[in-house]
A and B are shown apart, each in its own frame.
Chain A
Amino acid sequence: MSPSATAGLQAQPASRAGRREQLWSKAVSLILLLLVTAAMLSPLAFMVSTSLKTSKELLIYPPQLLPDAPAWGNYAELFRNGEIKFGQQYMNSLIVAVSAVVGTVLSSALVAFGFARYRTKASGFLFLLVLSTMMLPYPAIMIPQFLLFTKLGLHDSLLPLILPNFFGSAYMIFLLKQFFSTMPSELYEAGRIDGCSEFRLFWNLTLPLAGPAMATVAIFTFIGSWNDLLTPVLYLDSQENFTLPIGLASMMSSKFRLAPWNLLMAASMLTAVPIILLFAVAQRRFVEGIVLTGIK
């Protein structure tokens, strides 16, 4: 598709026709893309506009595209309304996601380093075991895990959401191992001659070089944890311990008042902010990570 510099000299006319064809296909592509993009973004535009409507404007039909005057107060209301506990839930989500990132990055890096650097009798088999758990569906093991954590008295706390991250994630181990394997062994020899312990080799030599890969791991761990609904549904009981996904879901299902769509949409907007920020700051890592892991 890219016109190559070596395009045959003697094929001038064909090439002109080809160029016209290309122009056409570009124009058609452009129009199609504009349509698709409009379709993709319109729900989000509706989300923004709903988040700025007053409760009266919600029921106007046909739906207004723009509220008469943006009700920014909806956003403030989320934090002011003590019944919703939105601020507290935002905090909980941050605590869980950041702990998950720290836990996953550290533990996965350790494990990946182990697999990348050493070959023992069992390492091949063990790595295969790691790979085989990559596809393991969480619902298949959630019941015993749930019983285990409840027996430990950890129900209604953030710990069951955080702790499992400190034992490495198969995906991330795989990703980091690929990265570590590309590191030159001379590096380690030099380190050993300087008298570094194995752990120092990992901590002082490898980790600083693995920044980009770890950033990718961090981003996707954050997103996974930030958006998770099933685990908090199992473990969290009281509103002040909720993370955002379950908080949002339960805000909608309150039996005792009308569903506050404007507040719900405002809350959804604010929930998306950290992810959008991550994307804005680290778009390249982001895209790379998606491509490498296939995680959405």
Chain B
Amino acid sequence: MNTTEKAGPFANSAAKPAGKLAKSAAAAALLTVVLSGCSGSGNSGGDTVTITHYTIDSPDRTFVEKLIPDFEAKHPGIKIKVTKAPYEQFDSKLQSAIAAKNSPDVTSQWGYGGFMEYYNKGMLMDLSPYLGDFKAADYHIPDNVMKIYEVGGKTYGIPLNSYVSVLLYNKDMFDKAGLSYPPTDYEDKSWTFDKMVEDAKAMTVDSKNLAEAQYGLDFGFGERDQRPQYFGANVYSDDTWTNGGKPSQVNLDKPEVIDAYKKIYGLIWDQHVSPSPAFSKSVAGQFGDPFLSGKIGMSVVGSWSLAASSDFNFKVGVAAVPQGPNPKVRSVLYIDPLFVLKDSKHPKEALEWIKYLVSTEVQKKSIDLSGGNPPVNQEAAEAYYAHFDGIDAAQIKQVYEGAYKYGFESYNHLIDNYSQINELFINELASVENGDKKPEEVLPGLQQKLQKLLGRVNK
């Protein structure tokens, strides 16, 4: 889990032909217990094993249902059942399913919490004994990505999708302001944070009238506690990344962290180039992304927003996140793996399903079915880069490669008890985001509360 520069370029992973799938082990001994809930759709009995795949109830995830017939045809002894929950309740439903001895077999860190939380709770199964002749290279998964989900030489997850931070921009707004489009090359030294703010200023109309108002930049780099990282300040002590996600120290009172937050919220309240929460919620609703409204010039977001680009009623472009104060980190990586849960009675069959999902052919197919999920399989990734109408494949590829090079894994995957920490940041920083208070007024209190919270959960 040492991650500071985990993602080197992927391209050097050897491109061998896909290895033959590990033979499914004798299922006969295991099949007496059929995992199923009450709906009984997986209750076909007989000589089959049912694997439950638990996922978020949104179209970019539930598309796996469409893959099931093909998989089941190829693996006669295995049935797949998909169970779902809304994003906000993903973790709690998972916990209660486990408590009810109704644990799903396969899932990912699709809720607020992440790998570290699951791992520390002992929810994950060590896959090493079942991997057999599985090689990451056969699936074109870069070794360094594969390693993210290894702890002490044991493998707990197989990477599936890799999202990164991207800068999306509204081409129409750039054209109107007479600005040139931002570059896709991370090595372009002219593309800096200050330049971005300057461009943003040119597009901003800071008005109380919603019909006129528009803003140049929505800077959504990671979650609130990760954002200072872009400015070279770290909220958590470095041991967090090596000790299982339990920060021994919190730095919210350090001058560099305070300065970072001043910069972040200064975009709204000093520079007036970013929308206030009031504006965002007015145009986008409680949780929606204001970029979709066409009133935001640039938006630093996770690349999942790209999947919705076909619905935008304006032309959209993709660019590099500009060079900021931190020379090493400019992008947040969200590598979603598939886990097998500890209570699974059929890890071997579950692994068959996972291997199926990361195979080149299925990863390619999944891009279209999901509306644009970025495959971790680098051979399939080419198809992903070319997936978006109106955006050049080479550009997306360049942005992705730069993001991998300057990427840092998302904090929510790395820190234990993340949902509680995140809740604290959201609430404590609300008054700063609203412009009622300055960061330096709020951060000392947040520092104390966070220390107290960590003291309790990590005791």
A binds B: yes
Q: Which of A61, A150, A157 touches B99 (beta carbons < 8 Å)?
A: A150
Q: Which of B83, B100, B101, B287 touches A237 (beta carbons < 8 Å)?
A: B83
**Is the C-beta of B2 less than 8 angstroms from some C-beta in chain A?**
no
**Is the C-beta of B12 less than 8 angstroms from some C-beta in chain A?**
no
Structural contact, B37 and A156, CB atoms closer than 8 A: yes
* Interface members, chain A 246-268 (any B CB < 8 Å): 250, 252-261
Q: Which of B57, B99, B210 has the most CB of A within 10 A?
A: B57
B301 to chain A, nearest CB (A): 11
Which residues of chain A are near B86, meaning CB under 8 Å?
Answer: 237, 239, 250
Structural contact, B57 and A237, CB atoms closer than 8 A: yes
Structural contact, A83 and B59, CB atoms closer than 8 A: yes
Known pairs A146-B96, A239-B57; A258 contacts B288 (CB<8 A)? yes
Structural contact, A155 and B97, CB atoms closer than 8 A: yes
Q: Which of B38, B60, B87, B286 touches A259 (beta carbons < 8 Å)?
A: B286
Which residues of chain B are near A146, meaning CB under 8 Å?
Answer: 96
* Interface members, chain A 207-257 (any B CB < 8 Å): 233, 237-239, 250, 252-257
Which residues of chain A are near B88, meaning CB under 8 Å?
Answer: 250, 253
Chain A, Cβ-Cβ closest to B305: A256
Q: Which of A147, A252, A256, A261 has the most CB of B within 10 A?
A: A256
Structural contact, B211 and A61, CB atoms closer than 8 A: yes
Which residues of chain B are near A260, meaning CB under 8 Å?
Answer: 285
Structural contact, A238 and B59, CB atoms closer than 8 A: no
The CA-CA distance from A157 to B40 in the complex, in Å, is 11
The CA-CA distance from A102 to B311 in the complex, in Å, is 45
Structural contact, A257 and B292, CB atoms closer than 8 A: yes
**Is the C-beta of A60 less than 8 angstroms from some C-beta in chain B?**
yes
**Is the C-beta of A151 less than 8 angstroms from some C-beta in chain B?**
yes
**Is the C-beta of B427 less than 8 angstroms from some C-beta in chain A?**
no
The CA-CA distance from A151 to B98 in the complex, in Å, is 10
Structural contact, B85 and A238, CB atoms closer than 8 A: yes
Q: Which of A155, A157, A239, A250 touches B100 (beta carbons < 8 Å)?
A: A155
B269 to chain A, nearest CB (A): 22
Structural contact, A155 and B84, CB atoms closer than 8 A: no
The CA-CA distance from A60 to B282 in the complex, in Å, is 11
Structural contact, B37 and A150, CB atoms closer than 8 A: no
Structural contact, B57 and A59, CB atoms closer than 8 A: no
B371 to chain A, nearest CB (A): 10
* Interface members, chain B 21-78 (any A CB < 8 Å): 37-39, 57-60
* Interface members, chain A 8-50 (any B CB < 8 Å): none
Secondary structure at the B interface, as helix, strand, loop or mixed, is mixed
| Proximity bits, A131-168, B CB within 8 Å = 1, else 0 | 00000000000000011001101111101000000000
Structural contact, A155 and B93, CB atoms closer than 8 A: yes
Considering only CB atoms and an 8 Å cut-off, how many residues of chain A contact the other chain?
Answer: 29
**Is the C-beta of B242 less than 8 angstroms from some C-beta in chain A?**
no
Q: Which of B97, B209, B292 touches A150 (beta carbons < 8 Å)?
A: B97
Chain B, Cβ-Cβ closest to A59: B210
A252 to chain B, nearest CB (A): 6
Q: Which of A238, A239, A250 touches B83 (beta carbons < 8 Å)?
A: A238
Structural contact, A155 and B37, CB atoms closer than 8 A: yes
Structural contact, A254 and B287, CB atoms closer than 8 A: yes
**Is the C-beta of B430 less than 8 angstroms from some C-beta in chain A?**
no
Structural contact, A253 and B102, CB atoms closer than 8 A: no
Chain B, Cβ-Cβ closest to A154: B38
Known pairs A253-B286, A257-B288; A237 contacts B93 (CB<8 A)? yes
B110 to chain A, nearest CB (A): 12
| Proximity bits, B90-115, A CB within 8 Å = 1, else 0 | 00010011011110000000000000
A148 to chain B, nearest CB (A): 10
Structural contact, B84 and A238, CB atoms closer than 8 A: yes
Structural contact, B96 and A258, CB atoms closer than 8 A: no
Q: Which of B211, B288, B308 has the most CB of A within 10 A?
A: B288
Structural contact, A256 and B283, CB atoms closer than 8 A: no
| Proximity bits, A158-190, B CB within 8 Å = 1, else 0 | 010000000000000000000000000000000
Which residues of chain A are near B288, meaning CB under 8 Å?
Answer: 254-259
Which residues of chain B are near A150, meaning CB under 8 Å?
Answer: 96-97, 99-100, 102
* Interface members, chain B 267-295 (any A CB < 8 Å): 282-289, 292-293
The CA-CA distance from A64 to B101 in the complex, in Å, is 54
Chain B, Cβ-Cβ closest to A60: B211
The CA-CA distance from A7 to B450 in the complex, in Å, is 75
The CA-CA distance from A260 to B211 in the complex, in Å, is 17
Structural contact, B100 and A151, CB atoms closer than 8 A: yes
Known pairs A61-B209, A156-B83, A239-B84; A255 contacts B287 (CB<8 A)? yes
The CA-CA distance from A253 to B210 in the complex, in Å, is 22
Chain A, Cβ-Cβ closest to B208: A61
**Is the C-beta of B89 less than 8 angstroms from some C-beta in chain A?**
yes
Which residues of chain B are near A239, meaning CB under 8 Å?
Answer: 57, 84, 86
B292 to chain A, nearest CB (A): 5
Structural contact, B210 and A258, CB atoms closer than 8 A: no
The CA-CA distance from A56 to B84 in the complex, in Å, is 33
B304 to chain A, nearest CB (A): 8
The CA-CA distance from A83 to B88 in the complex, in Å, is 17
Which residues of chain A are near B285, meaning CB under 8 Å?
Answer: 252, 258-261
* Interface members, chain B 282-330 (any A CB < 8 Å): 282-289, 292-293, 304, 308, 311
Which residues of chain A are near B292, meaning CB under 8 Å?
Answer: 257-258
Q: Which of A147, A157, A253, A259 touches B39 (beta carbons < 8 Å)?
A: A157
Q: Which of A60, A238, A253 touches B287 (beta carbons < 8 Å)?
A: A253
* Interface members, chain B 141-155 (any A CB < 8 Å): none
The CA-CA distance from A157 to B83 in the complex, in Å, is 12
Q: Which of B89, B100, B210, B284 has the most CB of A within 10 A?
A: B100
Chain A, Cβ-Cβ closest to B94: A237
* Interface members, chain B 117-156 (any A CB < 8 Å): none
Known pairs A253-B286, A253-B287, A258-B288; A153 contacts B100 (CB<8 A)? yes
The CA-CA distance from A261 to B282 in the complex, in Å, is 10
Q: Can you name 13 A-B pairs with beta carbons within 8 Å?
A: A59-B283, A147-B100, A151-B100, A153-B100, A155-B96, A233-B89, A238-B85, A239-B57, A252-B287, A253-B88, A258-B292, A259-B286, A260-B285
Q: Which 6 A-B pairs have the closest CB atoms?
A: A259-B285, A238-B84, A150-B100, A237-B85, A258-B288, A258-B284
Q: CB within 8 Å of B: which residues of A? A: 59-61, 83, 146-147, 150-151, 153-157, 159, 233, 237-239, 250, 252-261
Q: CB within 8 Å of A: which residues of B? A: 37-39, 57-60, 83-89, 93, 96-97, 99-102, 209-211, 282-289, 292-293, 304, 308, 311
**Contacts A250-B86, A259-B286 supplied; 9 other A-B pairs, CB < 8 Å:** A60-B211, A151-B100, A151-B101, A154-B38, A155-B93, A155-B96, A239-B57, A258-B289, A259-B288
